[in-house]
Structure 1
Amino acid sequence: MHCDLQTVSLKSPLGIIHISSCQEGIHTIQISPDCSECVCGCVSVDEHQELFPECVKCVTWLRAYFIDPSSTCTLPSPAIHHPILQGGSWTACVLRTLQRSVCVGEVVSYTHVATLAGRPRAARAVGGAMRKNPVPLLIPCHRVCLSSGRAGHYMGGHGDQLKVWLLDHERKTSQ
């Protein structure tokens, strides 16, 4: 699959979020948490660049999420067009299950996701699939925690503080 990609950057409370998309949908979301005290705000694009429709949806969705995560339930989710989600692999199954079944403010275990995906004994494999998530936030891996209740790792262990922030943000705004 060859796609012409465009990338936009959005300031957020987590730092700068880079969204890569094509005409068909979102390819990746990358979070750069090294921006000090970012607020939800500007999109960085070439003035003459027209954004792909799914990119506009994604920016709208993310801005709404940072204001009130539950408001995203009424917004259309941007289409995702990453190769990892195009087939019937275990990873694609886990990520689609997670996106479809785990709602804002809900926290589930790896075992629960494995059960939802049809393989109750595959909790470790769920973790492996989630590490490949190309679109964090849209596919909410941050809502999956250890059975012990601890948050566990996020974004390869580099985003553990982000995971705690996201869970707290969803908990506070859903009360």
Structure 2
Amino acid sequence: MSRDGEYGARVGWAVVGSGIGPLLLAATDEGLVNVVFHAGDAVRGRALERLADRLGTAPVEAPDAPVLAAAVRQVEEYFAGRRRDFTLPLDWSLISGFNRRVLRELAAGVPYGSVVGYGDLARRVGQPEAAQAVGAAMGANPLPVVVPCHRVVESGGGIGGFGGGLETKRRLLALEGVLPEPLF
């Protein structure tokens, strides 16, 4: 995507169908910046308004932009069971500080088909008492699915919370073989 004058990086978006419903994917020149669940018209509109406010420029539909085309392809491959790792450039500008450290560790250190506890992830980033803060970081994740917050679970075996809804989390964990597929 090209630069957009005084506003900096242009923001493009596309919607991709998935096994958990439509996902809004948004990207800047730096990389994928946002993934939004349940991206029907109303949710998509609100998400694009939030992105415009946060990034200082109105997102434009751009499914053929290189980063978005690659993201759409990789998301489709993931949901078809043909991809385990995303190899996309990521734009981390929507998140900073502790939350960014936690999400980078999650992306790099918790592979497909595995899970980690909130407390374990807190220890990995050098904050062993910060399990609740890790939960807040998961809730603030601007790149769910690609930065796999669905792989973070409670230490006692509970599934934990999830911004996309617990059924979505269950379906993602089932796709990766962590949980059995629902019977119906």
TM-score by length of 2: 0.76
- For the aligned residue pairs, the C-alpha RMSD in angstroms reads 2.6
1:167 lines up with 2:180 in the alignment: no
Q: Say which of 150, 160, 170 aligns to 2:158.
A: 150
The residue number in structure 2 matching 1:77 is 87
The match for 1:15 is 21
State the shift of 1:106 in Å.
Answer: 0.2
Point out the structure with the larger strand share.
Answer: 1
Runs of 4+ in structure 1 deviating by more than 3 angstroms, as ranges, are: none
Q: Quick check: 1:61–1:72 contact (8 Å CA) kept in 2?
A: no
How far apart are the structure 2 equivalents of 1:34 and 1:170? 25
1:131 and 1:67, CA in 2 relative to 1: closer, same or farther beyond 3 A? Answer: same
After TM superposition, give the deviation of residue 50 of structure 1 in Å.
6.3
- Select the residue among 129, 140, 162 that pairs with 1:132: 140
> Is 1:64 aligned with 2:77?
yes
Count the aligned residue pairs.
Answer: 156
- Residue 148 of structure 1 aligns to a residue whose secondary structure is coil
Q: Distance in 2 between matches of 1:137 and 1:17?
A: 10
CA distance in 2, matches of 1:93, 1:133: 11
Identity of aligned residues (%): 29
Q: Distance in 2 between matches of 1:160 and 1:111?
A: 20
Q: In 2, distance between residues paired with 1:102 and 1:61?
A: 18
Matches for 1:109-128 after TM superposition, within 5 Å:
109-128=117-136
Gapped runs of 5+ residues in structure 2? 1-6, 42-59, 180-184
How far apart are 1:3 and its partner, in Å?
Answer: 2.4
How far the C-alpha of 1:34 sits from its partner, in A, is: 6.8
Amino acid aligned to 1:58: A
- Residues 19 and 28 in structure 1, CA contact (< 8 A), matched pair in contact too: yes
CA contact (8 A) 1:84 1:92 kept: no
In the alignment, structure 1 segments of 5+ residues that lack a partner are 36-44
Contact 1:113 1:123 in 2 (8 A): yes
